[in-house]
Structure 1
């Protein structure tokens, strides 16, 4: 188990806890608020336990809360990325996957797939891109666009929880 430090989550006030973990889920501090409100004991000093609690909060949230969180995520290689309007975490994640290195043709594919995906599902394509590259992302995009809306909604939530784990791991690494 990986222990979080500097200071440990169990030693933070509610405001400090929320400020520290508010951006683990894109523009959704309510998850950090609920995680703290369920009891900020020493078990939350373990990264895996904190992630499990936050993941469970997302999965138990109302459909409307889940959809709002999905919609808080930017398009991959979308207008917000081009205009520099992403959160720092999203910018780093997309850059780490080489999305900023797209050829004009790849950028057009991303744009077309983003539009088709949103038209089909009503929310943006979500993928935890860490450890991936733009070719794998495009392949996943082209596969997942054929999912049922229910399956893709569940997939989006699972990907968001993966993104949250990666962000918690990055926060932990920055504290080490």
Structure 2
């Protein structure tokens, strides 16, 4: 199991723990708060263990809380990115996939797919984009438009948990 380089969760106060892990789940400190409320031990100093606990909090939350977390995520190549309003983690993730370097045509395609996806599902398209290129993301976007709303809701939660693991590993 991988340990954190500079953070030892088991030694943190509630305030320090929440501050350190509040944005692992986009604008949703309640995940970290819930994990801490159920107790932190030395096993939580392993990234995979802490991630498993955080993922279970998300998956066991009510649908309203899950939907709020999904909706806290920005559109890929969306207006928030253009205006520079993304969290540092979201900016880095989108940049790693080259989304910040979209051509005008690619940006238009992202905008079109974002609108179609939101119209169909009522929430933003979520994908752990690290290691993917713009074309792979656009293809996944188009393919996932064929899923049912329930399939996409579950997929969004799974992608959010992948993003969370990547963010924990980056710490």
Could you tell me the TM-score, scaled by structure 1's length? 0.96
User: Secondary structure of 1:77's match?
Assistant: coil
Q: What count of residue pairs does the alignment treat as equivalent?
A: 171
Q: Distance in 1 between matches of 2:7 and 2:51?
A: 17
Match for residue 115 of structure 2? 115
Gaps of 5+ in 2: none
Match for residue 25 of structure 2? 25
1:89 and 2:89 aligned: yes
Equivalent pair of 1:128/1:163 in contact (CA under 8 Å):
yes
Equivalent pair of 1:97/1:133 in contact (CA under 8 Å):
yes
1:138 and 2:135 aligned: no
| Deviation of 1:101 (Å) | 1.2
Match for residue 162 of structure 1? 162
Match for residue 76 of structure 2? 76
Match for residue 60 of structure 1? 60
Gaps of 5+ in 1: 172-176
| Deviation of 1:6 (Å) | 3.1
1:152 and 2:152 aligned: yes
The alignment yields a C-alpha RMSD, in angstroms, of 0.7
Could you tell me the TM-score, scaled by structure 2's length? 0.99
| Deviation of 1:5 (Å) | 4.4
Equivalent pair of 2:4/2:47 in contact (CA under 8 Å):
yes
Which digits, 9 at most, give the CA deviation of each residue in 1:90-118, with x for residues without a partner?
Answer: 00000000001111111110000000000
Which digits, 9 at most, give the CA deviation of each residue in 1:32-52, with x for residues without a partner?
Answer: 001111111111000000000
Q: Pick closer, same or farther for the CA change 1:140–1:37 going to 2, 3 Å.
A: same
